[in-house]
Amino acid sequence: MTDAIAHFYHPALSVDQQLALRTAAQRLAREFDGTYGTETIERFLHTSYDQFASISSVPNYLPLLAERFARQRLHALARVEGHHYDGKPVVLFLCTHNAGRSQMALGFFTHLAGDRAVAWSGGSEPGFEINPSAIAAMAERGIDITDEYPKPWTDEIVRAANVVVTMGCGDACPVFPGTSYENWDVDDPAGLTVADVRPIRDELERRVRRLMDHLAITTG
């Protein structure tokens, strides 16, 4: 393999960040070997980095976030282009900041569905961090969402989904033909205490369970 991302240059990047991106590109190239080449991987890593550079307040984490998001996007693209098909339904949860509602819904869905389905989340205006009250409320149910992070959505991620669940992103939510859409009218937990988030959390769990029943996904 060629040294992917060798041409990736940004004046704000430190030497350590450049090395981290080159290493990330090499990992992605090995993971997607035979599916996507260096050019595609460079492009996805580059654009993912740029998306987080505009919203992240922690520059040292940018290469890691870019790699994680590029990996998700490449998996989505592989599904869209027919390179990968495992028969698992894909659900995408969208809200405004991808910091509360969509992250809690993702947490419940992933916890209940296990490896029987695929779930992603995104926001129309991604925030800087997951809502601490949402993290605490989910922890009360034994679900850890601290490893998640606010992120945007991209066309390939939406197109790869069988069901897109929207919560408060309005006209900003993308619409593609052939995709099933659900709009959940659920309060935004931004700025609320843990006590105030609990009813929102419980409503999301009920809706996630109904969605899983509709998709014939058994709980773990």
Which candidate, 7, 3, 9, 10, places its Cα nearest to that of 25? 3
Fold classification of 90-214 (topology level): Rossmann fold (3.40.50)
Q: Is the pLDDT of residue 61 over 90?
A: no
Q: Which residues are marked as active site?
A: 95, 169, 173
Report how far residue 66's alpha carbon sits from residue 69's, in angstroms, rounded to the nearest whole number.
Answer: 5
User: What are the pLDDT digits (tens) for 89-134?
Assistant: 999 999 999 999 999 999 999 999 999 999 999 999 999 899 999 9
Output the pLDDT for position 145. Answer: 98
Helices (H) and strands (E) in the chain, counts: 7, 4
Fold classification of 15-80 (topology level): Helicase, Ruva Protein; domain 3 (1.10.8)
Q: How confident is the model at residue 2 (pLDDT cuts 50, 70, 90)?
A: very low
Are 189 and 131 a contacting pair, CB within 8 Å? Answer: yes
Instruction: Show me where the domains of the chain are located.
Output: 15-80, 90-214
CA-CA-CA-CA dihedral for 75, 81, 86, 87, to nearest 10: 120
Report how far residue 15's alpha carbon sits from residue 179's, in angstroms, rounded to the nearest whole number.
Answer: 43
User: What are the pLDDT digits (tens) for 4-46?
Assistant: 444 555 556 778 888 999 999 999 999 999 999 999 999 999 9
Q: How many CB atoms lie within 10 A of CB 19?
A: 13
CA of 141: how far to CAs of 138, 188, 192, in Å? Answer: 5, 19, 18
Output the pLDDT for position 71. Answer: 97
Of residues 8 and 206, more confidently modeled: 206
| Predicted TM-score (pTM) of this structure | 0.91
